[in-house]
């Protein structure tokens, strides 16, 4: 065999071998990740998340895994990237008795020196914060003026009907009458709070300041000029699904949110949720997640989304009024990034009231609100730059089990960026 033929022969062998190695047979079973069997405890029966090869994610139903594979996956196998069982996530906080109001009502904002920002007229103006949670009481006196109003669903349509209730997708975003967010549990534009959680979180972020003294005193949002985008995916039981969470994240991106507050968690394993949160950096969105309330190290005993560690993510643990890490708070030298006040925090609740609650769910919106303050002074900043400012200006404590060894400090953050 001459040299030329030898090279051709070897090249053909390489090509054939390459195609043979890549042509691994796929089946309906192979599109499920290897971790699928490890996540059954939190799986939603008969509900699946499909990651299509075009990048889209949809929620699909099947009476059983075998039936779903046979009837849905196999006929569309070449279009599907992978499939996960949908999973349950939860919020973990309860309203507390008024007898527990032994902390000053605004001890949290006082401890982090929020007034330094307010005195400089830094209020978070024009920053949209998506609260992906249980809904929001958009009529609450301290929140009504801070809730997002979709300009495409406001005013009158050509026939003189109110766009907010005309049953038409006036702005062409795929959602009908979504004037103030969307409820992904009920597939409805009505974002009533299914519990109290989303309203409480929203008040910590952006409750308008008032001189009116209520039964529990003054409630002051960290960023009283920010705008809240209510996105409901938690139902009345305190649970929600990853599928609805992903839909809510997509909506927040579509509507131009700069910050997402995620005071929820528990999903043990989801590639889809991880990819979705990682992609937020491409949209310049900061994802602020609650560390969780199991008093555990989530570097080791991981809990998601808290244990993801993406460049545009901040995971928040909780402190009490003595500036010690709260007993309930998760921690981690790598995957928890800072602490913030989270014990007996008084904030807004549905019906125009004010109540106290405890948890990393309450600590997280302090950070989301602070991010809004900083971003309003640096509108051209990237999400990673906002994150860096937050983490580089913490109040240091060598005993804190988080990556910055610090607690949120608005005063220091604002003084570091403003003259």
Catalytic positions: 133, 197, 361
CA–CA gap between residue 302 and residue 270 (Å, rounded): 12
Cis peptide, bond prior to residue 160, ω within 30 of zero = no
Burial bucket for residue 214 (CB in 10 Å: 0-12, 13-18, 19+)? middle
* Assigned token pair, 160: 């003189």
Q: Residue 70 contacts by C-beta under 8 Å, 6 or more apart in sequence? A: 28
Tell me how far CA of residue 237 lies from CA of 43, 94, 162, 214, in angstroms.
16, 12, 33, 29
Q: Residue 374 contacts by C-beta under 8 Å, 6 or more apart in sequence? A: 381, 386, 389, 390, 413, 414, 417
DSSP per residue over 218-256, as a string?
Answer: ----SSTT-EEEEEE-B-TTSEEEHHHHHHHHHHHHHTT
Q: Residue 285 contacts by C-beta under 8 Å, 6 or more apart in sequence? A: 252, 253, 257, 258, 259, 260, 312, 383
Q: Give the DSSP letter of residue 70.
A: I
Q: Give the DSSP letter of residue 161.
A: -
Tell me how far CA of residue 350 lies from CA of 98, 136, 161, 192, in angstroms.
16, 8, 29, 9
CA–CA gap between residue 401 and residue 368 (Å, rounded): 20
Tokens 């051209």: give the residue: 380
Give the other-Cβ count within 10 Å of 80's Cβ. 17
- Read off φ and ψ for residue 55, nearest 5 degrees: 95, -15
Closest listed residue to residue 343, CA positions, set 407, 418, 297: 407
């Amino acid at each position: 065999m001459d040299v030329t033929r030898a090279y051709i022969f070897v090249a053909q062998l390489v090509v054939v071998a390459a195609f043979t190695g890549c042509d691994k047979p796929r089946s309906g079973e192979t599109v499920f990740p290897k971790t699928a069997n490890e996540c059954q405890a939190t799986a939603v029966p008969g509900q699946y998340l499909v990651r299509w090869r075009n990048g889209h994610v949809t929620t699909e139903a099947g009476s059983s895994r075998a039936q779903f594979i046979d009837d849905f996956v196999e006929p569309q196998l070449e279009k599907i990237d992978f499939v996960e069982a949908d999973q349950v996530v939860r919020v973990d906080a309860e309203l507390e008795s008024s007898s527990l109001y032994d902390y000053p009502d605004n001890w949290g904002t006082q401890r982090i020196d929020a007034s330094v920002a307010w005195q400089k007229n830094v209020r978070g103006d024009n920053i949209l914060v998506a609260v992906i949670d249980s809904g929001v009481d958009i009529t609450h006196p301290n929140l009504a003026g801070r809730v997002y109003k979709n300009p495409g669903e406001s005013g009158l349509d050509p026939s003189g009907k109110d766009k907010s209730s005309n049953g038409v997708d006036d702005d062409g975003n795929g959602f009908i009458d979504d004037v103030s967010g969307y409820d992904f549990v009920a597939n409805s534009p009505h974002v009533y709070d299914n519990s109290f959680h989303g309203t409480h979180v929203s008040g910590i972020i952006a409750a308008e300041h008032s001189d009116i003294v209520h039964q529990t005193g003054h409630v002051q949002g960290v960023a009283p000029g920010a705008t809240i985008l209510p996105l409901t995916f938690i139902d009345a039981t305190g649970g929600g699904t990853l599928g609805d969470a992903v839909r809510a994240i997509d909506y927040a991106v579509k509507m131009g949110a700069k910050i997402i507050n995620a005071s929820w968690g528990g999903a043990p394993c989801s590639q889809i949720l991880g990819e979705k949160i990682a992609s937020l950096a491409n949209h310049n969105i900061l994802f602020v997640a609650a560390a969780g309330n199991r008093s555990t190290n989530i570097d080791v005993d991981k809990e998601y989304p808290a244990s993801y560690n993406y460049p545009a993510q901040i995971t928040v643990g909780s402190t009490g009024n003595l500036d010690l890490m709260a007993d309930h708070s998760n921690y981690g030298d790598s995957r928890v990034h800072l602490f913030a006040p989270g014990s007996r925090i008084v904030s807004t609740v549905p019906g125009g009231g004010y109540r106290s609650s405890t948890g990393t769910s309450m600590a997280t919106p302090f950070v989301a609100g602070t991010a809004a303050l900083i971003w309003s002074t640096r509108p051209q900043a990237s999400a990673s730059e906002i994150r860096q400012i937050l983490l580089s200006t913490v109040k240091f404590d060598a005993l804190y089990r988080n990556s910055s060894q610090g607690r949120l400090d608005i005063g220091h953050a604002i003084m570091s960026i403003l003259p």
